[in-house]
Copies of this chain bind each other. A is one copy, B any other.
Amino acid sequence: MIHKEQEKENESLTMDNLNPYILGVSDAVRGPTVVRAVEIEQQLKNNFNQFPFNRVIRANIGDPHASFNQSPITYIRQFVAGCTYPPLMDMSDFPIDIKQRVERLLNACSGKSLGSYTESQGIVTVREDIANYIECRDDYPANPNNIYLCNGATEGIRLVLKLLMNNNQNKPSGIMIPIPQYSLYSDTLSLYGAYQIRYYLDEDNNWALNLNELQRAFDEAKEYCIPRGIVIINPGNPTGQVLSSENIKMVIQFAYKHKLFILADEVYQENIYFTDSKFYSFKKIMMDLGLPYNQMQMASFHSASKGWHGECGSRGGYYELINLSKEVRIQVNKLVSASICSTAWGQVIMNAIINPPKKGEPSYELYEKERSDVLNRLKEKANLITDLFNSVEGVHCNRVMGSMYAFPRIDLPEKAIEYTKSLNMTPDTFYCFQLLEKTGICVVPGSGFKQQPNTYHFRITILSPTDEIKQIVDQFRTFHKSFLREWK
């Protein structure tokens, strides 16, 4: 015991002197419900027959290859394998367009190897292809020098937020973030000691942004911080909405009025399911608005991890930074080069995603078949899951227009809410734990993303196969009814 205390005394890193900002970081998406899910999986493997189900359904994270057996896209993997091991180009029967793409990409790498460091912003050819992709998407010019490759959008978002941190003044920097939001934002701002200016998305209006609400959040926060930027997630995570061009226009004008740097999280831009929805980039709408809006500064983020292709593990991503002054740009480039470069394999996968085979090329037909298979199924599932959840009493679910998630609201009985207070647990977390224990369905409680006070939600991916979705919602329906009965 003396030994133990002596050790403690000599510890250099303890809970008392740990960076205190780390305590404010949550772990929503991989948090306690997921830890419990992993435990249950282990127990199921060991044949502990104590659960009324035989497998856990990991609907907590948008990861198509992982739990739903979506196969990798042939074109992407052939291209990456070829870049990895060029002798394959002679050995294998890869299509000729793959071979040409591999040769073109390796020619852009120092020493013709992915083993070399790339330029800090990313391989020039990849940045040119991305600029071209953006031009085709928006119908406005894009400059490869404005493109930065990164290890998943996460790294890029953290870097851009870092630029805006200027806490040396009396007040910390403040960033407007949507509620509900992807926890990366609140976590990063906690870690940076920044102020979270939380604006609520309008659930009654399909999770759109509301001008009065933006103004309220801004006005209330001014006392505590210096507002510097605004984050918009479109298509929405966890909400699954796709913003209209009018809504985006309103946000841009609001940001202009208050000199806010725009961070447009557009990582789900290729995942649009609702027939009446279309993806408009913030950059496009800014450009459409003309002067002075088209001079505004903003960052738009995209990711290889978040498309329908399911290449989450690659951690490829990029951001476009526009309208920075030359002086600021120099500082950004310096900061970027301090990390040397992002993973070359991630860059190659990002390249494959934004530059798919074109009509007439040998890889085109198979690619198109694989693409439409995945997207048609996602579309079908997005509609199905919305309708099914809305058929359950006490559940309201906005239409899943894009991204990979539904975010249904659940009416919880007062008695259950009261009870969870004694557990020091949010009611929705309690609910999601119960759902997991009773059905094996693993979802993320709404409190992980924040939500309007006294409302309760959960996030569920729409990735399960169609017939499974029906089963899942049926199991959910049974569970929900019995939960209501239990806590009546």
Q: Which residues of A contact B (CB under 8 A)?
A: 3, 6-8, 10-15, 17-23, 25-27, 29-30, 61, 63-72, 77-78, 80-81, 84-85, 88, 91-93, 109-111, 113-118, 120, 151-152, 154-155, 162-166, 168, 183-184, 187-188, 191, 228-229, 255-256, 259-261, 291-292, 295-297, 305, 309-315, 323-325, 327-328, 331, 334-335, 337-346
Contacts and interface: CB of A to CB of B under 8 A. Distances in A.
A165 B341 CA distance: 25
Contacts of A110: 63, 65-67
A239 to B, nearest CB: 19
Given A77-B84, A331-B18, A183 B338 contact: yes
A114 B313 contact: yes
15 contacts: A8-B325, A10-B259, A12-B259, A12-B296, A13-B164, A27-B338, A63-B116, A65-B115, A66-B111, A67-B110, A116-B313, A187-B338, A312-B340, A313-B345, A343-B346
Given A17-B228, A92-B88, A292 B72 contact: no
B115 A12 contact: no
A23 B166 CA distance: 12
Given A14-B328, A81-B81, 5 more contacts: A8-B325, A21-B165, A27-B338, A66-B116, A84-B84
Given A84-B77, A92-B88, A111 B69 contact: yes
A339 B153 CA distance: 10
Given A30-B120, A292-B6, A15 B328 contact: yes
A155 to B, nearest CB: 8
B7 A295 contact: yes
A69 B110 CA distance: 9
A152 B187 CA distance: 22
Interface centre among A61, A69, A228, A337 (most CB of B within 10 A): A337
Given A19-B162, A338-B183, A260 B12 contact: yes
Contacts of A183: 338
Given A22-B163, A261-B12, A115 B311 contact: yes
Contacts of A77: 84-85
A335 B314 CA distance: 20
A338 B25 contact: yes
A166 B343 contact: no
B328 A341 contact: no
Interface centre among A8, A20, A30, A118 (most CB of B within 10 A): A30
B84 A325 contact: no
Contacts of A29: 340
Given A15-B325, A328-B13, A116 B65 contact: yes
A337 B25 CA distance: 10
Contacts of A25: 334-335, 338
B30 A340 contact: yes
B63 A117 contact: yes
B295 A10 contact: yes
A311 B118 CA distance: 12
A200 B85 CA distance: 44
Contacts of A342: 151, 315
Contacts of A297: 11-13
Contacts of A21: 165
Contact of A343 (B118, B261, B343): B343
B23 A331 contact: yes
Contacts of A116: 63, 65-66, 310, 312-313
